[in-house]
Structure 1
């Protein structure tokens, strides 16, 4: 296949290829690399790759300067918490080496309840940081300018063939940071959280800044979109057999079956238990976007960026307005909002 490329030229050398998830280091046969797709690739080919792999890793779809501006605004907002290295430039997002990473927890990472309010050993520091991270979701530079960037909306409207009128960027997004050494995001697929609508949504995971191979970027389970669909179908069959109503089935995965809707906090063991699949990772650049479908299983690595950069990325979801979609998501993100 033309997009089944070898590892990127910037990939780690064998002696540096140490990638860690919540339950340990990935073995050499447990990881590979995402297949990059360039912005000038014909849409028919992009659609084919998306259908085949469950994702498409788009290079340079957003203007780099716009992404770095948003990153700078984000860290200007968070800087009073002490998360940044003294005298560093906000856009660089360098973590303060004298701070405890656990006092700067990421939203939705490593919590018993993935939608709960995270905390840390020093509640005063953690609360200030978390309050500011949550506030960022409501800032104009983020919710209006970045989340509704015309370059992204226009591309998705054409890629999905929904058209401009029916391509809706839904309001509830998850803007996540990951400080070096903190917990990674657990294993999940998105339809778990969007079950009150059809399974046609498209997620755009947008790295807000450059993320090195060791910087805690998103990782995708190889052919995980097929496994995710199987898991969903198996759950539906069991739920129906147990006598749950349609409404109860929509909520049961989130509330009763798995903590916070997470399939597993341990990506290493999850891959072993499901056919010894590989986790696919990448070095991301500001301007890159990964589109994935509702069943693509993904997680993240622990951030061990050699420069101490804080990883920031956001989950932007798009739906076809002509179809039923989960309108619980028609609001700005807040903790314990029932989704």
Structure 2
């Protein structure tokens, strides 16, 4: 599969020839760039873009040095497991290609066991990470974007790494997994390090919310006789085994032709840099790309969801997500 160019660099010659999904690929003719929003953009314009574009890609929101310290801290915990190339600095996160890919896929791919699995669990509750996701620049942006007096972050976050050649998350919208509450939530996807378009970062379906809502309506109609527990599960019998829509972005249009009148889907990619944050809506369709990084860099990122404190107090959130991630928690 093609190695892609990095947007905004001296070797940038435009969009890649194709973008690899977890399965399949998207040709250049169906690719575009995420719209970049400088951090000093007026908040009213950021808010307009969030709801018009279904995302807002804020460049340089967090200090780069703070993000790289988090990257250094995370990968330092895996030095003894064979994940990193011997002799390299943990902050670089260079994968040890001599290792078996299936052993080090992190959350969402492979089956880590023993001490490495425990390291993944522990990483979600360490103070260094909890301080990082409470970063004042991140939290103030959430409040300003949403015009909330106070935000609540769901405790279940997803701090995950994606190795070159490994597996990650397929196409989905976040409401698939947070069906247990009616309140609006905002997702923040935070790349922890630089991620070129071919390095496993998120890519987005342009103007995809109408389709996502149609898919959800269709699911709900077919689930009308389900128990409440089945209805709020992303793994009910109407869904795929992993809860996602598909692993192959090229199949989404074909699979949902009865729900969409678009002639051709367009997918948006980006050159992510440490400090960038993407905010998106509950029905924004997106996926992680396959990590084909030419330098063997491991993608590291975290997924965060925020509610208005008023909705939290009213009990209209998905309470299942108010606990830290553990393997097999069913979410």
Global fold match (TM > 0.5)? yes
- What is residue 154 of structure 1 aligned with on the other side? 140
2:120 pairs, out of 133, 137, 140, with 133
Residues 187 and 262, structure 1, Cα contact 8 Å, conserved in 2:
yes
Q: Over aligned residues, Cα RMSD in angstroms?
A: 2.0
The match for 1:298 is 286
Moved more, 270-279 or 255-264: 270-279
Which residue number in structure 1 is paired with residue 174 of structure 2?
Answer: 190
Matched-pair contact (CA < 8 Å) for 2:183–2:307 = no
What is the correspondence of 1:99-248 to structure 2 with a 5 Å cutoff? 99-109=99-109, 118-119=110-111, 127-142=114-129, 144-164=130-150, 167-240=151-224, 243-244=225-226, 246=228, 248=230
- C-alpha distance in 1, partners of 2:100/2:170? 21
* 8 Å CA contact 1:105, 1:130 repeated in 2: no
Aligned length: 314
The residue that corresponds to 2:324 in the other structure is: 332
Q: Is the contact made by 2:25 and 2:249 (CA closer than 8 Å) also made in structure 1?
A: no
Greater share of helix residues, 1 or 2? Answer: 1
CA 1:247–1:88 in 2, change beyond 3 Å: closer, same or farther?
Answer: closer
How far apart, CA to CA, are the structure 1 residues paired with 2:320 and 2:284? 21
Tell me, what secondary structure is at the counterpart of 1:315?
Answer: strand
The residue that corresponds to 2:243 in the other structure is 261
Pairwise CA distance, 1:194: 1.0
CA–CA distance in 2 between the matches of 1:214 and 1:127? 31
CA contact (8 A) 1:12 1:213 kept: no
1:14 CA drift (Å):
6.2
Mapped contact 1:186–1:262 kept (Cα < 8 A): yes
CA pair 152-217 structure 1, distance change in 2 beyond 3 A:
same
2:259 corresponds to: none
C-alpha distance in structure 2 between counterparts of 1:73 and 1:172, whole Å: 20
User: Structure 2 CA distance, aligned partners of 1:16 and 1:210?
Assistant: 17
CA distance in 2 between counterparts of 1:71 and 1:15 reads 27
Q: In 2, distance between residues paired with 1:169 and 1:244?
A: 30
* Cα shift at 1:132: 1.7
In 2, Cα distance between the equivalents of 1:56 and 1:154? 15
**Length-normalised TM-score, structure 2:** 0.89
The equivalences for 1:42-81 within 5 A come to: 42-81=42-81
Q: Contact conserved, 2:75 with 2:93, CA < 8 A, in 1?
A: yes
Partner in structure 2 of residue 270 of structure 1: 252
Looking at structure 2, the residues matched to 191 and 179 of structure 1 have their Cα atoms a distance apart, in angstroms, of 26
DSSP-derived class of the 2:223 partner:
helix
Go from structure 1 to structure 2 and tell me whether the alpha carbon gap of 1:134 and 1:59 turns closer, same or farther (over 3 Å shift): same
Distance of 1:187 and 1:228 partners within structure 2? 11
Q: Secondary structure in 1 aligned to 2:188?
A: strand
Contact 2:53 2:207 in 1 (8 A): yes
| Unpaired runs of at least 5, structure 2 | 1-5, 257-261
Q: Once the two structures are superposed, what CA deviation does each residue of 1:117-157 show, in whole Å capped at 9, x if it has no partner?
A: x427xxxxx54433322221111111x21111111111101
| In structure 1, distance between residues paired with 2:15 and 2:179 | 43
CA distance in 2 between partners of 1:316 and 1:157 (Å) = 14
Unmatched 5+ stretches in structure 1: 1-6, 110-117, 121-125
Q: Deviations over 1:84-136 (max 9, x none)?
A: 11110110001113222222113124xxxxxxxx427xxxxx54433322221
1:265-321 per-residue CA deviation (whole Å, 9 max, x = no partner) reads 212222454543122110100000000111111111111111111000110110112
